[in-house]
Amino acid sequence: MLIRPLSQSDSEAVRELDHKILGPDRSATWDTYLDRFLAIVEMDALPFPPWGCFVAEENGSLIGFLFAERQSTVYGLPPGARIVAIAVHPDNRHDDVGTGLVNSLIAQCENEGIEQIFAALLAADRRDARFLRSLGFDGAAVRVFVRQVGVDGSNGTGEDAGEKRAYDAIVTRVADQLKRTQDRSGEALNTALGRASELTNAAGEFTSEQIERASGYVRRDLFSLSENRERASVLVRDRLRPSRVKDGFLALASEVIERAGSGLSRLSDRIEKPLQFDTGEVTGPGTLTCTTCDSQMRFRNTGRIPPCPRCHATSFKKSY
């Protein structure tokens, strides 16, 4: 294995590895720094490699990369370096590739008198946290506090987060159930939803109340999908590119539209009045329009519905 500074000729291979891990559409991820770094690398006649950027290769193939930058004193942090992005090919996860990349950055910092290296992670990135701790990283003296705006301020560990995670678990299982049958009827959707709720309950991760509410939200969103099936079909087909959608309600929407179109028609026939979405409920991707002032909120992922940001009303209709 060879670890060396990033060069202009590496940009295509870096993008390919990034896409392999995160998918071509990274809009749902928090880290968009990769594009900025590669834009710099791809500039004509770059005289020197970007600071703190390394790649790992084996037999001429790129198997990992690390992008870092000098850390300013913003947020009260002392000067140092910050790891922006690190990736290792899935086939090489246990070959000390990440360790070698970080050690190369450490060596560069030591040569330049930089005394600290920072890395910011999401709370859910437990595997990455274990990796950094194994290399001597520890919790920083600066602690970041977050309060969600427009919701109840949940810290992400209670009922609020539980219902959202239960919603995602159920829609994933509904999609899986649909893949197991050729039945395209609306009743097949109901059966799949019931079975998905049973499996989620059996897993023991959520309370029965969370599952009951989340199941109701999923059922309502399926009705909404049927009510808006033509526009939803266009959105999923042309804008969301289903081949890139791996899980969540968008994956379910793709599966339902592709495999159960007639079932959607029968579901929509059972809608007696326009569906209503209320503040405090959970819903999947789509656009909510306030029934009072017509202000819109776009959901890219599963989320709890806040009050209208313009008039603070609590009732919405959904479109795609």
What pTM was estimated for this model as a whole?
0.48
Of 276, 182, 193, nearest in space to 227 by CA: 276
Which residues lie below 8 Å from residue 121, measured CB to CB, with a gap of 6+?
128, 129, 132
**Best CA proximity match to 265, nearest among 316, 171, 194, 189:** 189
Determine the Cα–Cα distance for residues 265 and 232; give it in Å rounded to an integer.
Answer: 13
Please count the helices (runs of H) and the strands (runs of E) in the chain.
Answer: 10, 11
Sign for the pseudo-dihedral over CA of 189, 192, 198, 201:
negative
Tokens of 264: 């959607």
Helix residue ranges per DSSP H, the chain = 11-22, 33-41, 97-111, 126-134, 159-179, 186-203, 208-227, 229-234, 248-259, 261-269
Give the pLDDT of the chain (320 residues) as one tens digit per residue.
899 988 878 888 888 888 887 766 555 554 556 666 676 666 655 556 678 889 999 998 999 999 888 876 665 666 788 888 888 998 888 888 999 999 999 988 888 888 888 887 766 677 788 888 888 887 665 666 555 544 443 444 455 578 888 999 998 888 888 877 777 666 777 788 888 999 998 888 888 889 999 998 988 888 887 666 655 555 555 544 444 444 567 667 766 666 545 555 555 445 455 688 999 899 988 889 999 999 888 887 888 898 888 888 899 998 87
Residues 113, 116, 122, CA angle at the centre, nearest 5°?
150
Domains in the chain, start-ordered, CATH in brackets?
A: 2-134 (3.40.630.30), 159-319 (no CATH)
